[in-house]
């Protein structure tokens, strides 16, 4: 990731330093899949900086991909538009001026511009964009201008659709009401005791599924802290696992797995008056990273890469909507709260408990959906080395298939001490059911 960023900066610098002779022949602006990867990576970095919660982050990945994909599909007979497949999407405007129109370039510009609208720290993206613009403009001003004009027109079109997905309205919807009198009800967890995030995310318009509740999972085991009940056993299991793996130490496989899949965008740390946060990518971003790895490994070109990103990011986004629908239906209390109450008031999970109800596990649902979607693109027997978390000091893990990675991501939440077994197992199923639906429904490659 870093290497490529540096490389493209280097190229840019070279171009700037050499100076451009005015008479040099106009070149074809070549947009490679790396350009798309770089752009996605850039947005991922900004999202970390801006601290987007996992559901919101999934939305930020999806729209720019769809916008770019629609541009690409317009000019490419191998791909079919998402109009008619994705809720409320209408056909993008046809370009009025095709003089030198470079569709991949226009698609990339659409992607960047929609990303810009979605993130907060715009200048972190516009500086990147402007340096690319400068390169492209010197390479072929006419082609750049036409492509830019068209790319931005499409971005406007997609943005208008995007603005109607209820995101704005959900900002002013009620907060989750804490009621500690109900022993089963989720309550804020240490150390930051943050409000439950995105309690109305099920009101967001999904991309592909009919409704947020379409893949409504079975309810969690009935709440009871009577020893012997299923629920009690699940709480106890989380506690026992944590004792077991803590004893094994930080180098144990379980702790490595838990940390590898932590994907918590905001882990708050407090020491006295001193507070800070360690920030990482979200579960969705991790799977977007895997999509990049698979695309590269398969030697995908720009169009195929864009296709893979688009399909995966839509599955992830809908998985979050489906999962959040259940989270704020069952409003289940986290293991940390119960273990502190019933077993050990000093107990801390291996991972910091994220600020929303327990059931089902978001990472499990999303991994289930993303794993299956990627399998539909790249095949089941697809081994890969996942170095997505390298920049966060978490090393590389190798997997034989996407589904195997998804299984590990799911179980990691139990190792991490933040989920019960039901949330993980039911969650993966929920995600895979949703993923299968996405695969069956979508017709992208002709």
Partner 1 sequence: MAWRIRALISGLAFIGLSSCGPEEGSLFESRSAKSSGISFENTQTPTEDLNILDYLYFYNGGGVALGDINNDGLVDVFLSGNQTPNALYLNQGNLQFEDISQTAGVQGQSSWNTGATMADVNGDGLLDIYVCAVVGLNGFDGHNELYVNQGNGKFTEESANYGLDFDTYASSSVFFDYDGDGDLDLYLLNHAVHTQESYGKASLRMQRNYETGDRLLRNENGHFEDVSEAAGIFGGVNGYGLGISVADFNQDGWPDIYIGNDFHEDDYYYLNQGNGSFQEALRENFGHTTRFSMGSDAADINHDGLVDLISLDMLPYNEKVLKSSDGDDNVQTQKMRIEHFGYHYQFTRNMLHPNQGKHGFSETALMSGVAATDWSWSALFSDFDQDGNEDLYISNGIPKRPNDLDFIRFVSSDQIKKKINNTKLVDQKALEMMPSGLAINQFFQGDGKLHFNERTDWVGRDSTVSGATAYGDLDNDGDLDLVINNLNAPPSILINKTDAQGHYLKISPRFKGKNPFGLGTKAYAFHKDKMWYKELYPNRGFQASSEPILHFGLGAIEQLDSVRIIWPNHSYQTLTAVKTNHHLTISPEDTQPWNYASTESKNLLFTQVNDQLGLNFEHEEDNYTDFNRQKLIPYQISDRGPAVALGDLNHDGLTDIYFGGSKRKRSQTFLQTESGFIRSDFTNLAQDSIKEDVAAHIADFNGDGKQDILIGSGGGDYYKQMKPLTDSYFVSEKSGFALSDLPESFQNASVIAPFDFDADGDLDVFIGNQAVTNDFGRMPSCQLLRNDNGHFEEIPLPETNQIGMVTDAVWSDFDADGTEDLIIVGEWMAPLFFKNKGGILEKVNPLSDNPIGLWQSLVPFDMDQDGDTDYILGNWGLNSKFTASEKYPLRMYYADFDDNGQTETIVATAKDNNYYPLLSFDELSSQLVSLKKEYTSYKSFGGTSMEALLKKIAPASKPQVFEVSELRSGYLKNENGRFEFVAFDDPIQIAPIMDFCIYDFDHDGTLEVLAAGNYFGVTPLHGRLDGFSGALIEPDGHIRETHNLGLDLKNLSVRHLNLLAFNEKQFLLVTLNNAKAQIYQLK
Chain residues that interact with partner 1, rule: CB under 8 A:
49-51, 120-123, 168-169, 171-172, 174-180, 187-188, 190-191, 193, 195, 268-279, 340, 345, 348, 393
For every residue of 230-272, DSSP letters joined together read: HHHHHHHHHHHHHHHHHHH-TTSHHHHHHHHT---S-EEEEET
SS3 384: strand
**8 Å CB contact between 348 and 336:** yes
Residue placing its CB nearer to partner 1 in the complex, 49 or 216: 49
195 or 253: CB nearest partner 1: 195
Q: How many CB atoms lie within 10 A of CB 405?
A: 24
Smallest gap from residue 120 Cβ to partner 1 (A): 4
Q: Which is nearer to partner 1, 85 or 126 (CB)?
A: 126
Diameter over CA atoms, the chain: 82
Minimum CB distance to partner 1, residue 219 (Å):
24
**Torsions phi, psi for 267 (to 5 deg):** -100, 115
Q: Minimum distance between the CB of residue 346 and partner 1, rounded to whole angstroms? A: 8
Give 301 or 391: the residue with its C-beta nearer to partner 1.
391
* Whole-number Å distance between alpha carbons of 237 and 26: 66
Q: Which residue, 348 or 380, has its beta carbon nearer to partner 1? A: 348
Q: Based on CB atoms, which residue is closest to partner 1, 28 or 270? A: 270
Q: Which is closer to partner 1, CB of 6 or CB of 269? A: 269
CB of 86 to partner 1, least distance (A): 23
Q: Which is nearer to partner 1, 296 or 329 (CB)?
A: 329
Report the chain's terminal Cα–Cα distance, integer Å: 31
Q: Are 424 and 361 in contact (CB under 8 A)?
A: yes
Pick from 438, 238, 210, 215: nearest CA to 350: 238
Q: Closest distance between partner 1 and the C-beta of residue 259, in Å?
A: 11
Report the nearest approach of partner 1 to the CB of residue 282 (Å). Answer: 15
Least Å distance between CB 110 and partner 1? 19
Decide: helix, strand or coil at residue 42: helix
Q: Which residues contact 130 (CB under 8 A, 6 or more apart)?
A: none
Burial of 118 (0-12, 13-18, 19+ CB in 10 A): buried
HSE-CB at 268 with a 13 A cutoff on CA atoms is 15
For residue 274, what are the β-bridge partners?
Answer: 271
* Closest distance to partner 1 from the beta carbon of 52 (Å): 10
């Amino acid at each position: 990731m870093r290497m490529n960023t540096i490389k493209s900066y280097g190229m840019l610098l070279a171009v700037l330093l050499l100076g451009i002779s005015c008479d040099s022949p106009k070149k074809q602006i070549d947009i490679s899949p790396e350009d798309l990867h770089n752009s996605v990576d850039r947005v991922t970095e900004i999202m970390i900086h801006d601290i987007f919660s996992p559901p919101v982050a999934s939305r930020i990945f999806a729209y720019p991909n769809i916008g770019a994909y629609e541009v690409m599909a317009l000019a490419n007979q191998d791909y079919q538009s998402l109009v008619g497949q994705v809720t409320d999407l209408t056909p993008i405007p046809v370009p009025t001026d095709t003089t030198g129109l470079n569709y991949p370039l226009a698609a990339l510009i659409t992607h960047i511009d929609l990303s810009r609208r979605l993130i907060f720290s715009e200048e972190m993206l516009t500086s990147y964009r402007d340096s690319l613009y400068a390169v492209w403009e010197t390479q072929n001003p006419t082609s750049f201008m036409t492509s830019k004009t068209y790319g931005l027109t499409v971005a406007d079109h997609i943005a208008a659709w995007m603005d109607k997905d209820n995101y704005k309205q959900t900002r002013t919807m009620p907060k989750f009401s804490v009621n500690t009198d109900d022993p089963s009800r989720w309550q804020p967890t240490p150390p930051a005791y943050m409000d439950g995030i995105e309690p109305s995310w099920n009101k967001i318009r999904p991309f592909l599924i009919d409704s947020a509740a379409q893949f409504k999972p079975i309810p969690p085991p009935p709440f009871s802290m009577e020893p012997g009940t299923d629920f009690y056993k699940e709480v106890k299991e989380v506690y026992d696992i944590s004792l077991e793996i803590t004893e094994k130490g930080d180098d144990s496989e379980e702790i490595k797995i838990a940390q590898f899949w932590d994907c918590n965008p905001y882990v708050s740390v407090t020491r006295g008056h001193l507070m800070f946060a360690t920030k990482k990518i979200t579960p969705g971003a991790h799977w977007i990273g895997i999509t990049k790895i698979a695309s590269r490994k398969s030697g995908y070109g720009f169009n195929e890469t864009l296709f893979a990103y688009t399909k995966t990011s839509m599955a992830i986004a809908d998985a979050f909507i489906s999962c959040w629908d259940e989270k704020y239906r069952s409003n289940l209390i986290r293991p940390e709260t119960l273990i502190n109450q019933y077993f050990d008031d000093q107990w801390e999970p291996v991972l910091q408990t994220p600020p929303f109800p327990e059931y089902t596990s978001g990472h499990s649902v999303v991994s289930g959906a993303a794993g299956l979607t990627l399998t539909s693109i790249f095949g089941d027997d697809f081994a890969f080395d996942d170095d997505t978390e390298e920049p966060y000091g978490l090393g590389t893990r190798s997997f034989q298939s996407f589904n195997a990675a998804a299984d590990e991501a799911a179980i990691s939440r139990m190792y991490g001490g933040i989920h019960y077994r039901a949330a993980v197992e039911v969650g993966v199923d929920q995600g895979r059911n949703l993923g299968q639906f996405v695969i069956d429904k979508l017709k992208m490659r002709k």
